[in-house]
Structure 1
Protein backbone atom coordinates (compact mmCIF):
# COMPACT_ATOMS: atom_id res chain seq x y z
CA UNK A 1 0.00 0.00 0.00
CA UNK A 2 1.24 3.48 -0.69
CA UNK A 3 -0.23 6.84 0.22
CA UNK A 4 0.49 10.16 -1.39
CA UNK A 5 -0.94 13.48 -0.26
CA UNK A 6 -1.44 16.28 -2.75
CA UNK A 7 0.16 19.69 -2.16
CA UNK A 8 -2.64 21.02 0.00
CA UNK A 9 -3.07 17.68 1.72
CA UNK A 10 -6.62 17.09 0.62
CA UNK A 11 -6.31 13.68 -0.96
CA UNK A 12 -4.67 10.43 0.01
CA UNK A 13 -3.87 7.76 -2.55
CA UNK A 14 -3.68 4.26 -1.09
CA UNK A 15 -2.56 0.99 -2.62
CA UNK A 16 -3.81 -1.61 -0.13
CA UNK A 17 -2.28 -4.78 1.29
CA UNK A 18 -3.47 -7.14 4.09
CA UNK A 19 -3.08 -5.90 7.71
CA UNK A 20 -2.33 -7.60 11.07
CA UNK A 21 -1.29 -6.40 14.55
CA UNK A 22 0.33 -8.14 17.55
CA UNK A 23 -1.15 -8.24 21.04
CA UNK A 24 0.48 -6.41 23.91
CA UNK A 25 2.38 -8.59 26.39
CA UNK A 26 3.83 -7.53 29.71
CA UNK A 27 6.00 -4.44 29.53
CA UNK A 28 9.65 -5.39 29.06
CA UNK A 29 11.46 -2.07 28.85
CA UNK A 30 15.08 -2.59 29.85
CA UNK A 31 14.86 -6.39 29.87
CA UNK A 32 16.97 -8.56 27.59
CA UNK A 33 15.47 -10.74 24.89
CA UNK A 34 16.76 -13.82 26.70
CA UNK A 35 15.10 -12.84 30.00
CA UNK A 36 11.82 -12.10 28.24
CA UNK A 37 11.77 -15.45 26.45
CA UNK A 38 12.76 -17.40 29.58
CA UNK A 39 10.00 -15.69 31.60
CA UNK A 40 7.51 -16.47 28.84
CA UNK A 41 8.48 -20.15 28.83
CA UNK A 42 9.71 -19.95 25.24
CA UNK A 43 13.34 -20.62 26.17
CA UNK A 44 15.03 -22.58 28.97
CA UNK A 45 17.70 -20.88 31.13
CA UNK A 46 20.26 -23.44 29.90
CA UNK A 47 19.51 -22.71 26.23
CA UNK A 48 19.67 -18.98 26.95
CA UNK A 49 23.22 -19.48 28.26
CA UNK A 50 24.15 -21.45 25.14
CA UNK A 51 22.90 -18.59 22.98
CA UNK A 52 24.85 -16.01 25.02
CA UNK A 53 28.11 -17.98 24.58
CA UNK A 54 27.48 -18.37 20.85
CA UNK A 55 26.63 -14.67 20.61
CA UNK A 56 29.91 -13.65 22.27
CA UNK A 57 31.98 -15.97 20.08
CA UNK A 58 30.39 -14.79 16.83
CA UNK A 59 29.68 -11.16 17.73
CA UNK A 60 26.09 -11.64 16.58
CA UNK A 61 22.78 -10.51 18.00
CA UNK A 62 21.00 -12.70 20.53
CA UNK A 63 18.05 -13.38 18.25
CA UNK A 64 20.20 -14.24 15.24
CA UNK A 65 22.38 -16.49 17.41
CA UNK A 66 19.37 -18.30 18.81
CA UNK A 67 17.98 -18.91 15.33
CA UNK A 68 21.38 -20.12 14.09
CA UNK A 69 21.43 -22.68 16.92
CA UNK A 70 17.88 -23.75 16.14
CA UNK A 71 16.73 -22.67 19.61
CA UNK A 72 14.62 -19.68 18.53
CA UNK A 73 12.15 -18.99 15.75
CA UNK A 74 11.36 -15.73 13.99
CA UNK A 75 8.13 -15.70 15.97
CA UNK A 76 10.05 -15.91 19.28
CA UNK A 77 12.18 -12.91 18.32
CA UNK A 78 9.13 -10.92 17.20
CA UNK A 79 7.47 -11.67 20.52
CA UNK A 80 10.48 -10.54 22.55
CA UNK A 81 10.88 -7.33 20.57
CA UNK A 82 7.19 -6.56 21.02
CA UNK A 83 7.67 -6.80 24.78
CA UNK A 84 10.85 -4.72 24.76
CA UNK A 85 9.24 -1.92 22.79
CA UNK A 86 5.80 -2.22 24.43
CA UNK A 87 4.25 -3.04 21.06
CA UNK A 88 1.36 -5.41 20.31
CA UNK A 89 2.25 -8.91 19.18
CA UNK A 90 0.26 -11.12 16.83
CA UNK A 91 1.18 -14.80 16.69
CA UNK A 92 1.50 -16.28 13.21
CA UNK A 93 -1.24 -18.82 13.95
CA UNK A 94 -3.70 -15.99 14.71
CA UNK A 95 -7.24 -16.58 13.47
CA UNK A 96 -7.61 -12.96 12.38
CA UNK A 97 -8.07 -12.39 8.65
CA UNK A 98 -4.92 -11.97 6.57
CA UNK A 99 -6.54 -8.80 5.22
CA UNK A 100 -5.57 -7.18 8.52
CA UNK A 101 -2.16 -6.23 7.22
CA UNK A 102 -1.44 -3.65 9.88
CA UNK A 103 -1.53 -6.44 12.43
CA UNK A 104 0.22 -9.24 10.54
CA UNK A 105 2.91 -7.08 8.93
CA UNK A 106 3.19 -3.93 11.08
CA UNK A 107 6.67 -3.12 9.76
CA UNK A 108 5.80 -3.40 6.08
CA UNK A 109 5.85 -0.50 3.63
CA UNK A 110 2.09 -0.65 3.03
CA UNK A 111 1.45 -0.18 6.74
CA UNK A 112 3.86 2.75 6.83
CA UNK A 113 1.62 4.31 4.18
CA UNK A 114 -1.38 3.73 6.42
CA UNK A 115 0.46 5.47 9.24
CA UNK A 116 1.04 8.44 6.95
CA UNK A 117 -2.72 8.57 6.40
CA UNK A 118 -3.25 8.25 10.15
CA UNK A 119 -1.03 11.28 10.74
CA UNK A 120 -3.02 13.34 8.25
CA UNK A 121 -6.29 12.36 9.91
CA UNK A 122 -4.95 13.27 13.34
CA UNK A 123 -3.89 16.71 12.12
CA UNK A 124 -7.00 17.37 10.06
CA UNK A 125 -9.68 16.05 12.39
CA UNK A 126 -8.99 14.17 15.62
CA UNK A 127 -6.55 16.71 17.10
CA UNK A 128 -8.68 19.74 16.20
CA UNK A 129 -11.24 19.45 19.00
CA UNK A 130 -12.10 17.35 22.07
CA UNK A 131 -15.41 16.18 20.61
CA UNK A 132 -13.97 15.10 17.26
CA UNK A 133 -13.60 11.38 17.88
CA UNK A 134 -15.73 9.79 15.16
CA UNK A 135 -14.86 9.24 11.50
CA UNK A 136 -17.09 7.54 8.93
CA UNK A 137 -15.38 5.57 6.15
CA UNK A 138 -17.62 6.01 3.11
CA UNK A 139 -17.74 5.41 -0.63
CA UNK A 140 -20.16 6.18 -3.42
CA UNK A 141 -20.18 2.67 -4.88
CA UNK A 142 -19.75 -0.91 -3.76
CA UNK A 143 -16.57 -3.05 -3.65
CA UNK A 144 -14.33 -0.04 -3.14
CA UNK A 145 -12.53 -1.15 0.02
CA UNK A 146 -14.36 0.56 2.90
CA UNK A 147 -14.20 -2.41 5.28
CA UNK A 148 -10.54 -3.04 4.52
CA UNK A 149 -9.54 0.59 5.10
CA UNK A 150 -11.74 0.85 8.21
CA UNK A 151 -10.23 -2.23 9.86
CA UNK A 152 -6.63 -1.39 9.09
CA UNK A 153 -6.97 2.25 10.05
CA UNK A 154 -8.46 1.21 13.37
CA UNK A 155 -5.48 -1.07 13.95
CA UNK A 156 -2.85 1.59 13.25
CA UNK A 157 -4.65 4.05 15.51
CA UNK A 158 -4.64 1.46 18.29
CA UNK A 159 -0.89 1.00 17.73
CA UNK A 160 -0.47 4.59 18.90
CA UNK A 161 -1.82 3.50 22.27
CA UNK A 162 -5.11 5.31 21.60
CA UNK A 163 -8.28 3.61 22.80
CA UNK A 164 -9.79 2.77 19.42
CA UNK A 165 -13.26 1.48 18.56
CA UNK A 166 -14.21 0.08 15.16
CA UNK A 167 -17.97 0.13 14.52
CA UNK A 168 -19.51 -1.88 11.71
CA UNK A 169 -22.48 0.30 10.71
CA UNK A 170 -23.03 -1.70 7.52
CA UNK A 171 -26.10 -3.56 8.77
CA UNK A 172 -26.84 -4.85 5.27
CA UNK A 173 -23.68 -6.76 4.33
CA UNK A 174 -21.35 -6.54 7.38
CA UNK A 175 -17.75 -7.76 7.23
CA UNK A 176 -15.91 -6.71 10.37
CA UNK A 177 -17.08 -9.73 12.40
CA UNK A 178 -15.53 -11.93 9.70
CA UNK A 179 -12.24 -10.04 9.56
CA UNK A 180 -11.82 -10.23 13.35
CA UNK A 181 -13.37 -13.69 13.70
CA UNK A 182 -16.01 -12.52 16.18
CA UNK A 183 -18.76 -14.98 15.36
CA UNK A 184 -22.42 -13.96 15.21
CA UNK A 185 -22.97 -12.24 18.54
CA UNK A 186 -24.90 -9.09 19.37
CA UNK A 187 -23.84 -5.81 17.83
CA UNK A 188 -24.87 -2.34 16.74
CA UNK A 189 -28.36 -3.28 15.53
CA UNK A 190 -29.11 -5.03 18.83
CA UNK A 191 -27.94 -2.01 20.85
CA UNK A 192 -30.01 0.43 18.78
CA UNK A 193 -33.06 -1.81 19.15
CA UNK A 194 -32.57 -1.97 22.92
CA UNK A 195 -31.80 -5.68 22.86
CA UNK A 196 -28.16 -5.42 24.00
CA UNK A 197 -25.91 -3.14 26.00
CA UNK A 198 -22.23 -2.26 26.03
CA UNK A 199 -21.36 -5.95 26.35
CA UNK A 200 -21.77 -6.05 22.54
CA UNK A 201 -18.49 -4.11 22.26
CA UNK A 202 -15.74 -6.72 21.92
CA UNK A 203 -12.18 -6.09 23.04
CA UNK A 204 -9.76 -7.70 20.57
CA UNK A 205 -7.38 -9.61 22.84
CA UNK A 206 -4.70 -9.93 20.17
CA UNK A 207 -4.69 -6.21 19.42
CA UNK A 208 -3.98 -3.94 22.35
CA UNK A 209 -6.26 -0.88 22.68
CA UNK A 210 -8.62 -2.05 19.92
CA UNK A 211 -12.29 -2.91 20.36
CA UNK A 212 -14.92 -3.79 17.75
CA UNK A 213 -18.68 -3.25 17.76
CA UNK A 214 -19.92 -5.63 15.04
CA UNK A 215 -23.10 -4.97 13.08
CA UNK A 216 -25.07 -7.62 14.96
CA UNK A 217 -28.26 -9.20 13.66
CA UNK A 218 -29.16 -7.86 10.21
CA UNK A 219 -32.34 -5.81 10.85
CA UNK A 220 -35.22 -5.12 8.47
CA UNK A 221 -34.89 -1.36 9.09
CA UNK A 222 -31.20 -0.31 9.21
CA UNK A 223 -31.86 3.21 7.92
CA UNK A 224 -34.48 3.85 10.58
CA UNK A 225 -32.23 2.53 13.34
CA UNK A 226 -29.37 4.78 12.28
CA UNK A 227 -31.70 7.77 11.92
CA UNK A 228 -32.93 7.61 15.50
CA UNK A 229 -31.47 9.76 18.25
CA UNK A 230 -30.33 6.56 19.99
CA UNK A 231 -27.47 6.29 17.49
CA UNK A 232 -26.27 9.83 18.25
CA UNK A 233 -26.52 9.18 21.98
CA UNK A 234 -24.64 5.92 21.59
CA UNK A 235 -21.77 7.65 19.74
CA UNK A 236 -21.62 10.31 22.43
CA UNK A 237 -21.51 7.69 25.18
CA UNK A 238 -18.83 5.66 23.41
CA UNK A 239 -16.82 8.85 22.95
CA UNK A 240 -16.40 8.95 26.73
CA UNK A 241 -14.57 5.61 26.66
CA UNK A 242 -12.68 5.78 23.36
CA UNK A 243 -10.24 8.26 21.83
CA UNK A 244 -10.88 7.22 18.21
CA UNK A 245 -14.07 5.80 16.67
CA UNK A 246 -13.82 4.46 13.10
CA UNK A 247 -17.16 3.62 11.47
CA UNK A 248 -17.56 1.29 8.49
CA UNK A 249 -20.59 2.00 6.27
CA UNK A 250 -22.49 0.52 3.31
CA UNK A 251 -22.09 2.00 -0.20
CA UNK A 252 -23.96 5.28 -0.67
CA UNK A 253 -25.25 4.18 -4.08
CA UNK A 254 -27.36 1.44 -2.48
CA UNK A 255 -28.87 3.24 0.52
CA UNK A 256 -28.80 6.46 2.55
CA UNK A 257 -27.10 4.85 5.57
CA UNK A 258 -23.65 6.30 4.79
CA UNK A 259 -25.02 9.85 4.75
CA UNK A 260 -26.70 9.33 8.11
CA UNK A 261 -23.61 7.83 9.72
CA UNK A 262 -21.33 10.56 8.33
CA UNK A 263 -23.61 13.30 9.67
CA UNK A 264 -23.68 11.65 13.10
CA UNK A 265 -19.89 11.23 13.10
CA UNK A 266 -19.30 14.75 11.81
CA UNK A 267 -16.51 13.75 9.42
CA UNK A 268 -15.88 11.30 6.61
CA UNK A 269 -12.99 9.75 4.71
CA UNK A 270 -14.04 8.94 1.14
CA UNK A 271 -12.81 5.67 -0.41
CA UNK A 272 -12.66 5.03 -4.17
CA UNK A 273 -11.21 2.25 -6.31
CA UNK A 274 -9.12 2.83 -9.40
CA UNK A 275 -10.80 1.77 -12.67
CA UNK A 276 -14.00 0.97 -10.75
CA UNK A 277 -15.39 4.10 -9.11
CA UNK A 278 -17.49 6.52 -11.12
CA UNK A 279 -16.14 10.06 -10.90
CA UNK A 280 -19.54 11.73 -11.52
CA UNK A 281 -21.11 9.47 -8.88
CA UNK A 282 -18.39 10.27 -6.37
CA UNK A 283 -18.65 14.00 -7.13
CA UNK A 284 -22.40 13.97 -6.46
CA UNK A 285 -21.85 11.98 -3.27
CA UNK A 286 -19.18 14.28 -1.83
CA UNK A 287 -21.24 17.34 -2.76
CA UNK A 288 -24.23 15.93 -0.86
CA UNK A 289 -22.06 15.21 2.18
CA UNK A 290 -20.88 18.82 2.22
CA UNK A 291 -24.49 20.02 1.98
CA UNK A 292 -25.24 18.00 5.13
CA UNK A 293 -22.35 19.73 6.93
CA UNK A 294 -20.01 16.72 6.97
CA UNK A 295 -16.29 17.55 7.14
CA UNK A 296 -14.52 15.71 4.32
CA UNK A 297 -11.07 15.12 5.81
CA UNK A 298 -9.60 13.32 2.79
CA UNK A 299 -10.00 10.56 0.24
CA UNK A 300 -8.35 7.23 -0.35
CA UNK A 301 -7.82 5.67 -3.78
CA UNK A 302 -7.40 1.90 -3.88
CA UNK A 303 -5.56 0.75 -6.97
CA UNK A 304 -5.79 -2.98 -6.24
Structure 2
Protein backbone atom coordinates (compact mmCIF):
# COMPACT_ATOMS: atom_id res chain seq x y z
CA UNK A 1 0.00 0.00 0.00
CA UNK A 2 1.31 3.44 -0.93
CA UNK A 3 -0.58 6.28 0.76
CA UNK A 4 0.09 9.73 -0.61
CA UNK A 5 -0.54 12.60 1.77
CA UNK A 6 -2.85 15.13 0.17
CA UNK A 7 -3.83 16.85 3.40
CA UNK A 8 -3.01 20.84 2.31
CA UNK A 9 1.40 5.85 26.58
CA UNK A 10 1.21 2.44 28.11
CA UNK A 11 3.42 1.07 30.97
CA UNK A 12 6.64 -0.71 30.05
CA UNK A 13 7.52 -4.24 31.13
CA UNK A 14 9.13 -4.60 34.51
CA UNK A 15 12.50 -5.23 32.82
CA UNK A 16 12.93 -2.98 29.80
CA UNK A 17 16.63 -3.74 29.31
CA UNK A 18 17.81 -5.28 26.05
CA UNK A 19 18.43 -8.60 27.81
CA UNK A 20 15.07 -8.54 29.55
CA UNK A 21 13.22 -7.80 26.34
CA UNK A 22 15.09 -10.51 24.43
CA UNK A 23 14.15 -13.01 27.12
CA UNK A 24 10.54 -11.88 27.24
CA UNK A 25 10.17 -12.14 23.48
CA UNK A 26 11.72 -15.63 23.40
CA UNK A 27 14.67 -14.55 21.24
CA UNK A 28 17.06 -16.09 23.75
CA UNK A 29 16.64 -18.68 26.51
CA UNK A 30 17.67 -18.19 30.17
CA UNK A 31 20.53 -20.65 29.59
CA UNK A 32 21.81 -18.69 26.61
CA UNK A 33 21.40 -15.46 28.55
CA UNK A 34 23.99 -16.75 31.03
CA UNK A 35 26.43 -17.37 28.15
CA UNK A 36 25.81 -13.85 26.91
CA UNK A 37 26.36 -12.35 30.35
CA UNK A 38 29.68 -14.19 30.70
CA UNK A 39 30.92 -12.88 27.34
CA UNK A 40 29.61 -9.41 28.14
CA UNK A 41 31.59 -9.37 31.40
CA UNK A 42 34.75 -10.85 29.85
CA UNK A 43 34.89 -8.48 26.88
CA UNK A 44 33.24 -5.42 28.39
CA UNK A 45 30.70 -5.13 25.57
CA UNK A 46 26.95 -4.56 25.42
CA UNK A 47 24.53 -7.42 25.99
CA UNK A 48 23.12 -7.21 22.47
CA UNK A 49 26.56 -7.21 20.88
CA UNK A 50 27.58 -10.27 22.90
CA UNK A 51 24.40 -12.11 21.88
CA UNK A 52 25.11 -11.31 18.24
CA UNK A 53 28.70 -12.54 18.48
CA UNK A 54 27.41 -15.83 19.88
CA UNK A 55 25.06 -16.12 16.92
CA UNK A 56 21.96 -16.12 19.11
CA UNK A 57 20.25 -13.08 17.59
CA UNK A 58 20.44 -10.92 14.48
CA UNK A 59 20.73 -7.18 13.93
CA UNK A 60 17.00 -7.19 13.12
CA UNK A 61 16.31 -8.64 16.58
CA UNK A 62 18.33 -5.83 18.16
CA UNK A 63 16.45 -3.17 16.20
CA UNK A 64 13.14 -4.67 17.24
CA UNK A 65 13.88 -4.65 20.97
CA UNK A 66 15.33 -1.15 20.70
CA UNK A 67 12.01 -0.10 19.19
CA UNK A 68 10.22 -1.65 22.17
CA UNK A 69 12.50 0.20 24.58
CA UNK A 70 11.31 3.42 23.01
CA UNK A 71 7.65 2.27 22.95
CA UNK A 72 7.67 1.85 19.16
CA UNK A 73 6.72 -1.82 18.69
CA UNK A 74 6.67 -3.53 15.32
CA UNK A 75 6.85 -7.08 14.01
CA UNK A 76 9.28 -8.99 11.86
CA UNK A 77 7.97 -10.73 8.70
CA UNK A 78 6.20 -13.95 9.67
CA UNK A 79 5.78 -12.91 13.29
CA UNK A 80 2.18 -12.87 14.48
CA UNK A 81 -0.78 -13.82 12.33
CA UNK A 82 -1.83 -10.40 11.12
CA UNK A 83 -2.47 -9.63 7.47
CA UNK A 84 0.85 -9.11 5.63
CA UNK A 85 -0.74 -5.94 4.20
CA UNK A 86 -0.51 -4.40 7.67
CA UNK A 87 2.64 -2.58 6.58
CA UNK A 88 2.75 -0.33 9.65
CA UNK A 89 3.36 -3.48 11.71
CA UNK A 90 5.78 -5.29 9.40
CA UNK A 91 7.56 -2.54 7.45
CA UNK A 92 7.66 0.43 9.87
CA UNK A 93 10.62 2.12 8.20
CA UNK A 94 9.36 1.83 4.62
CA UNK A 95 8.41 4.72 2.36
CA UNK A 96 4.76 3.68 2.61
CA UNK A 97 4.73 3.96 6.38
CA UNK A 98 6.59 7.27 6.29
CA UNK A 99 3.66 8.54 4.23
CA UNK A 100 1.24 7.13 6.82
CA UNK A 101 3.11 8.97 9.56
CA UNK A 102 2.86 12.19 7.54
CA UNK A 103 -0.92 11.72 7.38
CA UNK A 104 -0.96 11.02 11.12
CA UNK A 105 0.93 14.26 11.81
CA UNK A 106 -1.52 16.29 9.77
CA UNK A 107 -4.48 14.68 11.52
CA UNK A 108 -2.95 15.38 14.92
CA UNK A 109 -2.60 19.05 14.03
CA UNK A 110 -5.84 19.54 12.14
CA UNK A 111 -8.23 17.40 14.15
CA UNK A 112 -7.08 15.72 17.34
CA UNK A 113 -5.18 18.76 18.68
CA UNK A 114 -8.51 20.59 18.61
CA UNK A 115 -9.89 18.27 21.25
CA UNK A 116 -11.63 15.95 18.79
CA UNK A 117 -11.21 12.23 19.34
CA UNK A 118 -13.29 10.38 16.73
CA UNK A 119 -12.73 10.19 12.99
CA UNK A 120 -14.35 8.18 10.19
CA UNK A 121 -12.20 6.72 7.38
CA UNK A 122 -14.33 6.56 4.25
CA UNK A 123 -14.09 5.63 0.55
CA UNK A 124 -16.57 6.25 -2.27
CA UNK A 125 -16.89 2.64 -3.48
CA UNK A 126 -16.08 -0.79 -2.02
CA UNK A 127 -12.63 -2.18 -2.74
CA UNK A 128 -10.83 1.18 -2.67
CA UNK A 129 -8.64 0.33 0.31
CA UNK A 130 -10.25 2.34 3.11
CA UNK A 131 -10.42 -0.58 5.57
CA UNK A 132 -6.77 -1.47 5.14
CA UNK A 133 -5.78 2.18 5.34
CA UNK A 134 -7.77 2.56 8.57
CA UNK A 135 -6.02 -0.49 10.06
CA UNK A 136 -2.56 0.84 9.22
CA UNK A 137 -3.45 4.32 10.43
CA UNK A 138 -4.59 2.86 13.76
CA UNK A 139 -1.24 1.08 14.13
CA UNK A 140 0.82 4.24 13.52
CA UNK A 141 -1.31 6.20 15.98
CA UNK A 142 -0.67 3.53 18.61
CA UNK A 143 3.06 3.62 17.82
CA UNK A 144 2.94 7.31 18.69
CA UNK A 145 1.77 6.30 22.17
CA UNK A 146 -1.81 7.42 21.61
CA UNK A 147 -4.31 5.00 23.15
CA UNK A 148 -6.06 4.07 19.93
CA UNK A 149 -9.30 2.22 19.24
CA UNK A 150 -10.16 0.97 15.76
CA UNK A 151 -13.91 0.35 15.42
CA UNK A 152 -15.18 -1.82 12.59
CA UNK A 153 -18.49 -0.09 11.90
CA UNK A 154 -18.96 -1.97 8.64
CA UNK A 155 -21.92 -4.08 9.72
CA UNK A 156 -22.30 -5.49 6.19
CA UNK A 157 -18.83 -6.80 5.24
CA UNK A 158 -16.47 -6.30 8.20
CA UNK A 159 -12.75 -6.82 7.68
CA UNK A 160 -10.81 -5.74 10.78
CA UNK A 161 -11.14 -8.97 12.77
CA UNK A 162 -9.51 -10.80 9.85
CA UNK A 163 -6.78 -8.18 9.45
CA UNK A 164 -5.83 -8.45 13.14
CA UNK A 165 -6.60 -12.18 13.48
CA UNK A 166 -9.07 -11.65 16.33
CA UNK A 167 -11.76 -14.13 17.34
CA UNK A 168 -14.04 -12.09 19.63
CA UNK A 169 -17.59 -12.81 18.45
CA UNK A 170 -19.40 -9.82 19.96
CA UNK A 171 -18.78 -6.29 18.80
CA UNK A 172 -20.30 -2.95 17.86
CA UNK A 173 -23.70 -4.26 16.71
CA UNK A 174 -24.14 -6.24 19.94
CA UNK A 175 -23.23 -3.20 22.05
CA UNK A 176 -25.71 -1.00 20.17
CA UNK A 177 -28.39 -3.66 20.67
CA UNK A 178 -27.65 -3.79 24.41
CA UNK A 179 -26.32 -7.35 24.30
CA UNK A 180 -22.64 -6.61 25.00
CA UNK A 181 -20.50 -4.28 27.10
CA UNK A 182 -17.12 -2.63 26.65
CA UNK A 183 -15.37 -5.95 27.31
CA UNK A 184 -16.15 -6.80 23.67
CA UNK A 185 -13.18 -4.57 22.82
CA UNK A 186 -10.04 -6.61 22.11
CA UNK A 187 -6.59 -5.31 23.01
CA UNK A 188 -3.94 -6.11 20.40
CA UNK A 189 -1.10 -7.24 22.63
CA UNK A 190 1.57 -6.94 19.94
CA UNK A 191 1.29 -3.15 20.20
CA UNK A 192 1.59 -0.77 23.13
CA UNK A 193 -1.70 1.06 22.85
CA UNK A 194 -3.96 -0.48 20.21
CA UNK A 195 -7.43 -1.99 20.67
CA UNK A 196 -10.02 -3.16 18.14
CA UNK A 197 -13.79 -3.31 18.41
CA UNK A 198 -15.15 -5.70 15.80
CA UNK A 199 -18.44 -5.37 13.98
CA UNK A 200 -20.02 -8.18 15.97
CA UNK A 201 -23.13 -10.06 14.89
CA UNK A 202 -24.16 -8.94 11.41
CA UNK A 203 -27.65 -7.41 11.82
CA UNK A 204 -30.47 -7.32 9.26
CA UNK A 205 -30.82 -3.54 9.76
CA UNK A 206 -27.31 -2.00 9.89
CA UNK A 207 -28.33 1.52 8.85
CA UNK A 208 -31.09 1.72 11.47
CA UNK A 209 -28.83 0.28 14.16
CA UNK A 210 -26.10 2.83 13.47
CA UNK A 211 -28.68 5.65 13.51
CA UNK A 212 -29.90 4.85 17.01
CA UNK A 213 -29.43 7.45 19.74
CA UNK A 214 -27.51 4.81 21.73
CA UNK A 215 -24.63 5.22 19.27
CA UNK A 216 -24.01 8.78 20.49
CA UNK A 217 -23.75 7.52 24.06
CA UNK A 218 -21.42 4.70 23.07
CA UNK A 219 -19.18 7.06 21.11
CA UNK A 220 -18.95 9.33 24.17
CA UNK A 221 -17.89 6.34 26.28
CA UNK A 222 -15.23 5.36 23.78
CA UNK A 223 -13.89 8.91 23.55
CA UNK A 224 -13.61 9.01 27.34
CA UNK A 225 -11.43 5.89 27.31
CA UNK A 226 -9.23 6.47 24.24
CA UNK A 227 -7.15 9.26 22.75
CA UNK A 228 -8.02 8.32 19.17
CA UNK A 229 -11.12 6.48 17.92
CA UNK A 230 -11.05 5.54 14.22
CA UNK A 231 -14.17 4.21 12.53
CA UNK A 232 -13.96 1.93 9.49
CA UNK A 233 -17.32 2.18 7.70
CA UNK A 234 -18.96 0.82 4.53
CA UNK A 235 -18.21 2.72 1.34
CA UNK A 236 -20.33 5.81 0.75
CA UNK A 237 -22.01 4.18 -2.26
CA UNK A 238 -23.22 1.28 -0.08
CA UNK A 239 -25.91 3.33 1.66
CA UNK A 240 -26.45 5.68 4.58
CA UNK A 241 -24.32 3.78 7.13
CA UNK A 242 -21.27 6.00 6.65
CA UNK A 243 -23.24 9.19 7.14
CA UNK A 244 -24.85 7.84 10.33
CA UNK A 245 -21.43 7.11 11.84
CA UNK A 246 -19.81 10.31 10.56
CA UNK A 247 -22.56 12.42 12.11
CA UNK A 248 -21.62 10.97 15.51
CA UNK A 249 -17.86 11.29 15.02
CA UNK A 250 -18.09 14.78 13.54
CA UNK A 251 -15.25 14.36 11.06
CA UNK A 252 -14.27 12.23 8.10
CA UNK A 253 -11.05 11.41 6.25
CA UNK A 254 -11.72 10.61 2.60
CA UNK A 255 -9.78 7.80 0.93
CA UNK A 256 -9.37 7.54 -2.86
CA UNK A 257 -7.63 4.79 -4.82
CA UNK A 258 -5.21 5.83 -7.53
CA UNK A 259 -6.41 5.19 -11.09
CA UNK A 260 -9.75 3.92 -9.82
CA UNK A 261 -11.70 6.45 -7.75
CA UNK A 262 -13.51 9.12 -9.78
CA UNK A 263 -12.84 12.59 -8.42
CA UNK A 264 -16.45 13.52 -9.13
CA UNK A 265 -17.44 10.80 -6.66
CA UNK A 266 -15.09 12.20 -4.02
CA UNK A 267 -16.44 15.73 -4.55
CA UNK A 268 -20.03 14.55 -4.28
CA UNK A 269 -19.27 12.57 -1.13
CA UNK A 270 -17.48 15.54 0.47
CA UNK A 271 -20.35 17.88 -0.36
CA UNK A 272 -22.97 15.58 1.13
CA UNK A 273 -20.89 15.23 4.29
CA UNK A 274 -20.64 19.01 4.66
CA UNK A 275 -24.37 19.45 4.07
CA UNK A 276 -24.99 17.12 7.00
CA UNK A 277 -22.67 18.99 9.34
CA UNK A 278 -19.72 16.61 9.06
CA UNK A 279 -16.29 18.21 8.69
CA UNK A 280 -14.10 16.81 5.92
CA UNK A 281 -10.72 16.82 7.67
CA UNK A 282 -8.78 15.89 4.54
CA UNK A 283 -8.20 13.27 1.88
CA UNK A 284 -5.57 10.70 1.01
CA UNK A 285 -4.84 8.63 -2.06
CA UNK A 286 -3.76 5.02 -1.76
CA UNK A 287 -1.94 3.00 -4.40
CA UNK A 288 -1.89 -0.80 -4.34
Q: Where does residue 208 of structure 1 map in the other structure?
A: 192
Query: Which one is further off, 168-177 or 155-164?
Result: 155-164
Q: Where does residue 295 of structure 1 map in the other structure?
A: 279
Q: Where does residue 81 of structure 1 map in the other structure?
A: 66
Alpha-carbon separation, structure 1, partners of 2:25 and 2:202: 42
Alpha-carbon separation, structure 2, partners of 1:282 and 1:39: 47
How far does residue 64 in structure 1 lie from its aligned partner after superposition?
5.5
Q: Deviations over 1:52-92 (max 9, x none)?
A: 65686xxxx76466435312234532443134323325364
Evaluate the alpha carbon distance shift between residue 278 and residue 230 of structure 1 in structure 2; reply closer, same or farther with a 3 A threshold: same
Evaluate the alpha carbon distance shift between residue 80 and residue 4 of structure 1 in structure 2; reply closer, same or farther with a 3 A threshold: closer
Evaluate the alpha carbon distance shift between residue 25 and residue 90 of structure 1 in structure 2; reply closer, same or farther with a 3 A threshold: farther
Structure-to-structure mapping, 1:165-244, within 5 angstroms? 165-183=149-167, 185-244=169-228
User: SS of the counterpart of 1:87?
Assistant: coil
Q: Deviations over 1:106-147 (max 9, x none)?
A: 222221211110010011111012xx1000001111111111
Q: Where does residue 250 of structure 1 map in the other structure?
A: 234
How far does residue 220 in structure 1 lie from its aligned partner after superposition?
0.3
Contact 1:28 1:85 survives alignment (8 Å)? no
2:103 pairs, out of 99, 106, 117, with: 117
Alpha-carbon separation, structure 2, partners of 1:300 and 1:36: 37
Q: Where does residue 26 of structure 1 map in the other structure?
A: 13
Contact 2:19 2:33 survives alignment (8 Å)? no
Alpha-carbon separation, structure 2, partners of 1:36 and 1:150: 29
Contact 2:168 2:186 survives alignment (8 Å)? no
Alpha-carbon separation, structure 2, partners of 1:139 and 1:37: 41
User: SS of the counterpart of 2:214?
Assistant: helix
TM-score w.r.t. length of structure 1: 0.84
Alpha-carbon separation, structure 2, partners of 1:268 and 1:97: 25
Alpha-carbon separation, structure 2, partners of 1:119 and 1:27: 31
Alpha-carbon separation, structure 2, partners of 1:203 and 1:106: 20
Structure-to-structure mapping, 1:94-113, within 5 angstroms? 94-113=80-99
Alpha-carbon separation, structure 1, partners of 2:88 and 2:185: 21
1:47 pairs, out of 22, 36, 39, with: 36
Q: Deviations over 1:244-292 (max 9, x none)?
A: 0000010111211111111111000000111111222222111101101
TM-score w.r.t. length of structure 2: 0.88
* TM-align CA RMSD: 2.4
Alpha-carbon separation, structure 1, partners of 2:170 and 2:66: 36
Q: Where does residue 3 of structure 1 map in the other structure?
A: 4
How far does residue 2 in structure 1 lie from its aligned partner after superposition?
5.0
Is 1:144 the counterpart of 2:128? The answer is: yes
Alpha-carbon separation, structure 2, partners of 1:180 and 1:35: 27
User: SS of the counterpart of 1:240?
Assistant: helix
Is 1:271 the counterpart of 2:273? The answer is: no
Alpha-carbon separation, structure 2, partners of 1:175 and 1:46: 45
Ranges in structure 2 where 5+ consecutive residues have no aligned partner:
none
Evaluate the alpha carbon distance shift between residue 3 and residue 119 of structure 1 in structure 2; reply closer, same or farther with a 3 A threshold: same
Q: Where does residue 285 of structure 1 map in the other structure?
A: 269
Which of the two has greater helix per residue? Answer: 2
Ranges in structure 1 where 5+ consecutive residues have no aligned partner:
11-22
Q: Where does residue 144 of structure 2 map in the other structure?
A: 160
Evaluate the alpha carbon distance shift between residue 217 and residue 40 of structure 1 in structure 2; reply closer, same or farther with a 3 A threshold: closer
